[in-house]
Amino acid sequence: MSLLEIENVTLRFGGLVAVDNVSLHVETGEVFALVGPNGAGKSTIFNLISRFYDPAEGKIRFDGNDLLTQSADQVPGFGIARTFQNIELFEQATVLQNLLVGRHRHRTTGVLSDVLFSRKAYREELRHREAVEQVIEFLDLQAYRDKMIGGLPYGVRKVVELGRALASEPKLLLLDEPASGLSVEETQDMAFWIEDIQKQMGISVMMVEHDMGLVSAVSNRVMALSDGKELATGTSADVQSHPAVIEAYLGTGEISKTGTSRA
Amino acid sequence: MRFVFKTSYDADIRLFKHRAQATWYVLLLLLVLATPLYFVAIDDAYLLGEITGVLILAIAGMGLMLLTGHTGLPSLGHATFMALGCYVNINLLNAGVPWVIAFPVSGLLAGLIGTLIALPVLRLHGVYLALATLAMSILTSDFVVLAEPWTGGIAGAAVPDINIFGIEVNRYSTPYKFYYLVLFVTILLVWAYRNLLRTPTGRSFTAVRDSEISARAMGINLTRTKATSFFLSATAAGLAGALFGHSAGYVTNETFDLVMSITLLLMIVIGGLGFIHGAFFGAIVVGIIPVAIANGRSFLANAFDVNINIPGLESAMFAFILVCFILFEPMGLYGRWLKIRTYFELFPFYRKDMFKRQKSYLKTDRVQ
């Protein structure tokens, strides 16, 4: 059984079919990449898994559980963590506090024991801090741990968001364009981290990415989407040489057909 | 510039960052504990009553700060929760319930009723939530009139004296005891507030404030978190309301009016949204302005024989100060203090844009 199974999922926004009968599965321990032109429905699939959208048809199962019966805030409890395309950090909090929010799914204390700062709350707080410090160590964020997000450069924010997702100790990590806006060096760091996340931490990764260099370097399998439909799935090289993928990115080469080639 | 070398997780958890900071707060504690001695010496407790009033406002301000400053939910209806706390307290005391029970219960009941009222409006954002709570505030006075058996209606209700295991506390006959009582409650609530902020509950509040979508993606239940914040906030307001009743001695349907709700909101904006200190700075400003106006008036009358009797002068001053803060110092008084402190700590390396934020106000303040 796969870790994540998406079966024949369709999502419509009015007349627009954003995701059209897509099926995919992510195996435990693999890096699975979604590629495709803008508006292909890649991030939409992430939002479906996060339960921000309700699919019109289809099934989404994670680790044997039906995700469609769960609400968005219950999804992380199963071990799914995500980042966002346009960085959604808690701006007026420090890096440390942001990462600690990532630990939310592991909290066991109630409001009362928090307000009174009971022994239990204290011990749990120590555990959270320890887990977060490991993430800070892993991502080299020591220099920024007490800095406010509002004052951090873009590249660092991207890493903090990855850290926040990692702090929740997920089984599956959804990375929405982890390398967008990053410099060449930062993208390389990101590639090493994704590899370490997969191999050392044993976390499965599903990512949306436009940087084919990064995709080829880290992913085991790649799925190409266009207009909400699956074009091809396979290794990075297979997908990149697939005729349908080339057509989606570059067109058919026949000018008279460009307007209708997708129909 | 001080460097704190952190060698254990406790360094991030403990209430004071370093020994010097702890020393300052101990000194502050000693100062507030010793304040009454001065008034004993001059044998005039009038100003001490004003200071007690400031503390009570600060308690209500902390309640609103938790909701607006830390959870990002604006409320123009916190006087309603103060009224709830006040009237519950009065009725319990009149029914013979000891104060040590009646007081916390009045807070909790205000919290519970507040949450019940809030649940339907919590789906609203920004200005819409502000409008809904504003409506609540406008209705309060009418409800107080309608609930005459419990509130005394327009005629008002007298607030019984506090009796703690035989010790009588009254604002006028024993102002020092009343001051220490309010101070104790204030310190207790500050401690609870600090605990909240260093544990998951408080962090989930700030998460909801800064990004709802990402809070959900981290497993935070928005409705539950907002309701929790509303409960705690209304509880603090209820406690403040009960103390306010004791301080006023007599409350009518006009005591907890819209102006008080607005004053509370002004207070936390002037003090600095998102900082516990902000509630206190704001309360001090709000407490000082009427005194300053009265003193200024009598000074002008005595020295220059000029009599200024402009109705609504206080409100106009508040409004003017608020506009100035929003224009020139959105981080409030506490933010200004942080900047001044950083300036001296880093001298001469302070840069003007050090506190510049990419987004100058909270996300939830925007119309959504």
Considering the domain architecture, whether residues B255 and B145 belong to the same structural domain is answered as yes
pLDDT for A253: 67
The interface pTM score, or ipTM, of the predicted complex is 0.89
Instruction: Say how far residue A29 (Cα) sits from the centre of its chain.
Output: 15
Considering the domain architecture, whether residues B27 and B67 belong to the same structural domain is answered as no
The total number of structural domains that make up chain B: 2
Considering the domain architecture, whether residues B2 and B66 belong to the same structural domain is answered as no
Considering the domain architecture, whether residues B140 and B28 belong to the same structural domain is answered as no
Considering the domain architecture, whether residues B40 and B57 belong to the same structural domain is answered as no
CB A149 within 8 A of CB A89: yes
B200 touches chain A (CB under 8 A): yes
- DSSP labels, A2-45: -SEEEEEEEEEETTEEEEEEEEEEE-TT-EEEEE-STTSSHHHH
Higher pLDDT, A163 or B128: A163
pLDDT for B362: 46
CATH number at residue B186: 1.10.3470
Q: Which of B28, B44, B60 is the last residue of a domain?
A: B44
Interface test with B, best of A46, A80, A84, A97 (most B CBs within 10 A): A97
pLDDT for A113: 93
Task: Give CA–CA dist B235/B242, Å, rounded.
Answer: 11
pLDDT for B368: 35
Which chain A residue shows the shortest CA-CA distance from B72? A92
Which chain B residue shows the shortest CA-CA distance from A168? B218
CB A161 within 8 A of CB A87: yes
pLDDT for A256: 53
Considering the domain architecture, whether residues B152 and B15 belong to the same structural domain is answered as no
Among B196, B210, B358, the residue with its CB nearest the CB of A90 is B210
pLDDT for A89: 92
B199 touches chain A (CB under 8 A): yes
Considering the domain architecture, whether residues B225 and B125 belong to the same structural domain is answered as yes
Among B196, B199, B214, the residue with its CB nearest the CB of A84 is B214
Cβ-Cβ contacts under 8 Å, A96 against chain B: 12
Task: Give CA–CA dist B60/A193, Å, rounded.
Answer: 47
Cβ-Cβ contacts under 8 Å, A150 against chain B: 357-359
A61-76 pLDDT tens trace: 999 999 999 999 999 9
The domain in which residue B53 lies consists of 45-365
| Long-range pairs for B13-18: beta carbons < 8 A, 24 or more residues apart | B13/A122, B13/A125, B13/A126, B13/A129, B13/B198, B15/B191, B15/B194, B15/B198
Considering the domain architecture, whether residues B40 and B50 belong to the same structural domain is answered as no
Cβ-Cβ contacts under 8 Å, B8 against chain A: none
Element (H, E) at A132: helix A119-138
Considering the domain architecture, whether residues B191 and B111 belong to the same structural domain is answered as yes
pLDDT for B43: 84
Average pLDDT score, chain A: 91
**What is the DSSP secondary structure assignment for residue A233, as one 8-state letter?**
E
Considering the domain architecture, whether residues B8 and B29 belong to the same structural domain is answered as yes
Is A84 close to B196, i.e. CB distance below 8 A?
Answer: no
Q: How many angstroms separate the CA of residue A244 from the nearest CA in chain B?
A: 34
Is A72 close to B12, i.e. CB distance below 8 A?
Answer: no
Considering the domain architecture, whether residues B111 and B215 belong to the same structural domain is answered as yes
Instruction: Say how far residue B65 (Cα) sits from the centre of its chain.
Output: 7
Please report which confidence band the pLDDT of residue A263 belongs to, taking 50, 70 and 90 as the band edges. very low
Q: How large is the average pLDDT for residues A25-41?
A: 93
Considering the domain architecture, whether residues B108 and B10 belong to the same structural domain is answered as no
A199-253 pLDDT tens trace: 999 999 999 999 999 999 999 999 999 999 999 999 999 999 999 998 888 887 6
Q: In chain B, which ranges are continuous DSSP H helix? A: 10-13, 19-42, 46-64, 78-94, 99-121, 126-146, 148-151, 175-197, 200-210, 212-217, 222-248, 258-271, 276-303, 313-328, 332-346
A105 touches chain B (CB under 8 A): yes
Which chain A residue shows the shortest CA-CA distance from B69? A92
Task: Give CA–CA dist B127/A218, Å, rounded.
Answer: 46
Is B203 close to A73, i.e. CB distance below 8 A?
Answer: no
Interface test with B, best of A73, A80, A116, A168 (most B CBs within 10 A): A73
Written as tens digits, the pLDDT of chain B (368 aa) is: 577 788 888 888 888 888 888 999 999 999 999 999 999 898 888 889 999 999 999 999 999 999 999 999 999 999 999 999 999 999 999 999 999 999 999 999 999 998 998 888 888 877 888 899 999 999 999 999 999 898 988 898 999 999 899 888 888 888 999 999 999 999 999 999 999 999 999 999 999 999 999 999 999 999 999 999 999 999 999 999 999 999 999 999 989 989 899 999 989 999 999 999 999 999 999 888 888 888 888 888 888 887 777 777 777 887 888 888 888 888 888 888 888 888 888 888 887 777 765 444 444 444 33
Domains detected in chain A: 4-79+170-257 (3.40.50.300), 91-153 (no CATH)
Which chain B residue shows the shortest CA-CA distance from A127? B9
